[in-house]
Amino acid sequence: MYLSDHAVIRVRLVPAGQQKARMTVSLAATRWCSSRRAYLGYKRLAKKIKPPDIEISRILKAQPRGLEKKARPGVTCIMNTNPVATYLASTPPDKIDTGFLAYLCNLTQVAKTSPEIAFSIVRELENQRKRIKLIASENYCSMAVQLAMGNLLTDKYAEGVPGHRFYAGNENVDAIETLAAKEACELFGAEYANVQPHCGADANLLAYWAILSTRIEKPALEKYGTSNLYSLTDAQWAELKADMGNRRLLGLDYYSGGHLTHGYRYNLSGRMFDIYGYSVSKETGVLDYDEIEKQAMEVKPFILLAGYSAYPRSINFKRMREIADKVGAVFMVDMAHFAGLVAGKVFTGDFDPVKWAHVATTTTHKTLRGPRAGLVLSTSEFAEALDRGCPLAMGGPLPHVIAAKAIAFKEAASPDFRAYAQGVVENSKALAAACIKNGLDVLTGGTDNHLMLINVNGLGLTGRQAESALHECRITLNRNSLPADPNGPWYTSGLRLGTAAATTLGMGRAEMEEIASIMALVLKGTVAAPGKTPSSKSKAKYLVDPGVKAQAIERVGKVQERFPVYPELDLPVLKEAFVDTCNR
């Protein structure tokens, strides 16, 4: 190894009879200086200091020759010292935070190969600490969940299921996946769990095909007298494919709060099925179960799908199951947004989707506060088809993420998580009430879950302008389509807010009232910029009053100072090691 010009030497000075003190001195070693010569240089320097006693610590790992990288045009990153050694040397043993130490070790290893990636990770932490996160689909997972994903499990191919893999050497992956599935079943009260999906879209795709395989393919194979698809004649195979294709799916309309994977024409689901959508009431903005039943009787769907991405009220899943049974449909629920409220026992009885659905899918982040991934729960009827996710719709699972899911499920089974889930809804209701008090138009007049919708049309703004103005003032959320939205899915007329992340940080009613006040200040202090013609207004560009912006940023800062994102992470230390060493 060759040391760069920026090698740093740590010399430990030990005055006789006193506790060890530390001093760091720098040596301008030449780029062509070997580590041996540098070490001799350290010894010569130490002799000149001549304290009563000298102990030269091990040479800190310096930047290898040629490892100076450009993080982006005009940014050069050089890691001068080993941040881990510096942290350990300057922190008493009883004060060492193992979570931060693990994070620091991780970034140090990353920076050896790609300092620009370490740079961006630390900048993201800094960015999130400056802003209040109200994105309904985001949260902050625990350090245990994060760290479970950073290990050699990512190297394993594990296609198949525990005990039945397409690769040898999966004994430990089997143990991890079995534990994760067990934890999921116990957490949600499900008969079966598949923990392999990489995301919610994967989970829905796997669920759709498992339902088709169970209800259409399996009976057809029994009729043909075989269990092997390759035993079918070409005519039988064509007949089976035709029978499985274009089945009817009835789900919540996108503009009423449904998800893209619920039949949106630009999504695969919209091309797999003959899609029908039910909508919220034009008068109340909530679901009308009698109208849904009437529509289901007319459509006779193969799958009746419930669940949402942007609906602020609870759903009576018992009533939906009754409708499904009445028309002979499979009842499927996508609970990706509110799975944490189910796990935390906020939604119980008639409002517990797992109790009533044949198949339930979810992400494991959002309100569940786990890794970014997916999960399928079902009755035993669909277990066999779901176990054949590979090669049906899935490739190799991600064992390191499955390990993180197991940890998240265990966390969600705790009394603390139940209190958290209750707090999410309490904060959501408080935020909605405060927004209304501040003159904002909250759809349906409130919320039953973790999210709410705000119509900004009355303020002369599009959702895109409102989203951007608030982000500029350090409140992060997303624009969202509203029922019968005149601005379409890109510009939109609405905003979607969620309280899962803010609740994780420990915020409560007082903070919700302050956030609502800041939002109202910003939105009322923002106007649409002039359009391309004198009489038109832009749907994207906007102008925020400078005084309003300054006041909003100051108030956001005061809130965030009390509730920092990942408080165990020492941001100044991380910046010194991975950001300040990058010179523009």
Cα distance between residue 469 and residue 449, in whole Å: 26
Strand-pair partners of 542: 528
Assess whether 363 carries a catalytic annotation: yes
Instruction: Given the residues 5, 157, 239, 243, select the one marked as catalytic.
Output: 157
Q: What ranges in 413-535 are assigned the alpha helix state H?
A: 415-437, 463-472, 488-491, 500-504, 509-524
Cα distance between residue 406 and residue 415, in whole Å: 17
Assess whether 159 carries a catalytic annotation: yes
Assess whether 288 carries a catalytic annotation: no
Strand-pair partners of 475: 132
Cα distance between residue 330 and residue 305, in whole Å: 8
Cα distance between residue 551 and residue 519, in whole Å: 11
Terminal Cα-to-Cα distance of the chain (whole angstroms): 27
Q: Three-state SS string across 341-402, please?
A: HHHCCCCCHHHCHHHHCCEEEEECCHHHCCCCCEEEEECHHHHHHHHCHHHHCCCCCCHHHH
Taking the mean position of all CA atoms in its chain, how far away is CA 194?
Answer: 19
Cα distance between residue 329 and residue 170, in whole Å: 38
Cα distance between residue 261 and residue 185, in whole Å: 24
Instruction: Given the residues 156, 215, 313, 366, select the one marked as catalytic.
Output: 366
- Enter the tokens of residue 479: 């624009």
Q: Which of 502, 500, 437, 510 is nearest to 475 (CA)?
A: 502
DSSP designation for 16: T
The residue behind tokens 């309280």 is 499
Cα distance between residue 96 and residue 439, in whole Å: 48
Strand-pair partners of 160: 165
Cα distance between residue 177 and residue 171, in whole Å: 10
DSSP notation for 216-263: IIHHHHHHHT-S-GGGS-HHHHHHHHHHHTT-EEEEE-GGGT--GGGT
Instruction: Given the residues 363, 367, 503, 526, select the one marked as catalytic.
Output: 363
Instruction: Given the residues 177, 183, 334, 485, select the one marked as catalytic.
Output: 334
What is the number of helices (H) and of strands (E) in the chain? Answer: 24, 23
Burial of 394 (0-12, 13-18, 19+ CB in 10 A): buried
Q: What are phi and psi of 25, to 5 degrees?
A: -125, 155
Instruction: Given the residues 138, 159, 274, 545, select the one marked as catalytic.
Output: 159
Assess whether 448 carries a catalytic annotation: no
Cα distance between residue 59 and residue 20, in whole Å: 18
Strand-pair partners of 10: 24
Instruction: Given the residues 218, 319, 372, 524, select the one marked as catalytic.
Output: 372
Return the active site residues: 157, 159, 334, 363, 366, 372
